Structure 1
Amino acid sequence: MKKEELEELLRDCPVLYHMAELGSWPSIQRHGLLSTSALLDLFAVSGSRRTAIEARRRPENVAVEHPKLGRAVIRDQKPMDDAGLLRCLQDGLTPEDWYKLLNDRVFMWLTRDRLHRLLTARPYRTLEHDVLELDAAPLVAAHWAQITLSPINSGATKPFPRDRGKDTFLSIADYPYAHWRGKRKAGERAVELAVTGGIPDVGPFVRRVIRMRGEEIVTVLYSR
């Protein structure tokens, strides 16, 4: 991606959206917006329990606890399953490989429309969630080296499993923006922005945190 292409992407998508578990904002304020793997490191989860969380599909939310840190909830992976991954994975990747790739990253949508699609998906539409709205440009500047972009929803295989492989997550420099610019409207030229390891210094990038049910804003938890 060229400099002017990134500038266009950030003009089209100035706000990033992260859908977090209900009640997770206080923990995010304390520890940052961490990937599943980084959270497991922080909470000292190891052995077979860690493998079950990090390298297997999570059909339901999983809670982890620490005597000093308290409790955190790791989200389920209901929109994805092994059968779908086996149909679409390329480059010799296994479902276990894919779960590990996902769990090493924190994901954000580049448009409100994409956020709403997830919020209104069947497993989540009746539930409340803490949604973070983040300023895209300063976050990209601060975490450039850890950021990857994806042209698909990498955490879903339903209703149709789109092909994915080692080149699904590409650095900003390597992302083929011009290719997708010729095929998609503004806002859809990259679908996900992910930060490897997470964003421990997330606070300065957060413009608002809202509690949502479907497309409804239930309450505002934080506003800068």
Structure 2
Amino acid sequence: MDREAFLEKHRRLVHLAHADSWPSIERHGLLSTQEIVRRWDVPASQHDAILRRRRIRSFTLEHPELGRAVVRDQHPIYEAGLQTALAGSGMSVGQWLELLNSMVFFFPSAEAAAKLRAAYASEPAVLITVSARTLLREHESRLRLATFNTGYTRRRPKPRGPDSFMPLRRYERAQGAVQEVTVLSGVPDLSSHLVEVEHLPAQR
């Protein structure tokens, strides 16, 4: 699919993050978990727990110069379901989690982000809206599309593997509606693409 055909349907993309992450995001842009671990000088002894195993809790990382970064837990990922979904892909659970942690994820709309928001309703959040056009213009070579929620594996998880993330040029509408837009490594120039930032209070 070419860029204009994609933009006809997807003018805005959204990212949902923990509210405590916003000062760091505003300063450094949206970075993948893998990139955060690298920049925040996380000890190698913690890399597996953050990058290659399902995170059962969130990690708050502090850096004397870079400030605070919050790496969210991965409660929506059910490991038994993920193992089933990866059957025949040639990938282990650890490799799949490492792949997810190498990207920043966007939803095609605020409505599409509602399920993730519901899963973390007890926490304050920030909903970040960006221009799809400028994001594509600057980062198309690192941009990938997925036609399903790649981090959800609880009920009848879809088969997945390295080809679940497609460059725009390989995506065709017949393959299914876009459910996720990812950028490898991240979007350090977030301010160049920012449309709106909405702070969402915790729901009690």
> TM-score under structure 1 normalisation?
0.85
| Match of residue 133 from structure 1 | 129
One-letter amino acid of the counterpart of residue 55, structure 1: R
State the partner residue of 2:195. Answer: 207
Q: Which amino acid aligns with 1:71?
A: R
Paired AA for residue 23 in structure 1 = D
> Of 16, 34, 37, which residue of structure 2 is paired with 1:37?
34
Picking from 156, 177, 187, the partner of 2:173 is 177
Which letter does structure 2 place at the counterpart of 1:48?
S
> CA-atom RMSD, angstroms?
1.6
Q: Which one of 92, 112, 115 corresponds to residue 113 of structure 2? A: 115
From 31, 45, 48, the equivalent of 1:48 is 45
1:93 correspondence with 2:81? no
Distance in 2 of aligned mates of 1:213 and 1:97: 34
The answer to whether 1:11 aligns with 2:8 is yes
Q: Could you say which residue in structure 2 is the equivalent of 1:220?
A: none
Query: Is it true that 1:58 corresponds to 2:55 in the alignment?
Result: yes
Provide the rounded CA distance (Å) in 2 between the counterparts of 1:117 and 1:12. 21
1:147 partnered with 2:137: no
What CA distance in whole angstroms lies between the structure 2 residues aligned with 1:112 and 1:31? Answer: 23
Map of 2:68 onto structure 1 = 71
Question: Does the aligned pair in 2 maintain the 1:55–1:99 contact within 8 Å?
Answer: yes
More helix by share: 2
Q: Distance in 2 between matches of 1:145 and 1:25?
A: 26
Distance 1:174 1:13 in 2: 17
The unaligned stretches of length 5 or more in structure 1 are 181-188, 217-224
Q: What is the deviation of 1:7?
A: 2.1
Cα distance between partner residues in 1 of 2:92 and 2:122: 32
Q: Secondary structure at the match of 2:197?
A: strand
The answer on 1:196 being equivalent to 2:184 is yes
Structure 2 residues without counterparts, runs of 5 or longer: none
How many Å separate the matches in 2 of 1:149 and 1:54? Answer: 21
Would you say how many aligned residue pairs link Structure 1 and Structure 2? 202
1:22 touches 1:128 (CA, 8 Å); kept in 2?
A: yes
Question: C-alpha deviations, 1:132-175, integer Å up to 9, x for none?
Answer: 00111111111010000001101111233211111101111112
List per-residue Cα deviations over 1:9-43 (Å, max 9, x = no partner).
31222110100111222111111100000111110
1:36-94 deviations in Å (ceiling 9; x for gaps): 00111110113120121011100111111222222211011110022111111142111
Identity of aligned residues (%): 35
Report the alpha carbon displacement of residue 213 of structure 1 after superposing the two structures with TM: 4.6
C-alpha distance in structure 1 between counterparts of 2:84 and 2:159, whole Å: 8
Q: What do the CA deviations read for 1:156-195 (whole angstroms, capped 9, x no partner)?
A: 1123321111110111111233433xxxxxxxx1110000
Task: Give the conservation status (yes or no) of the 8 Å contact 1:17–1:109.
Answer: yes
What secondary structure sits across from 2:104 in the alignment? strand
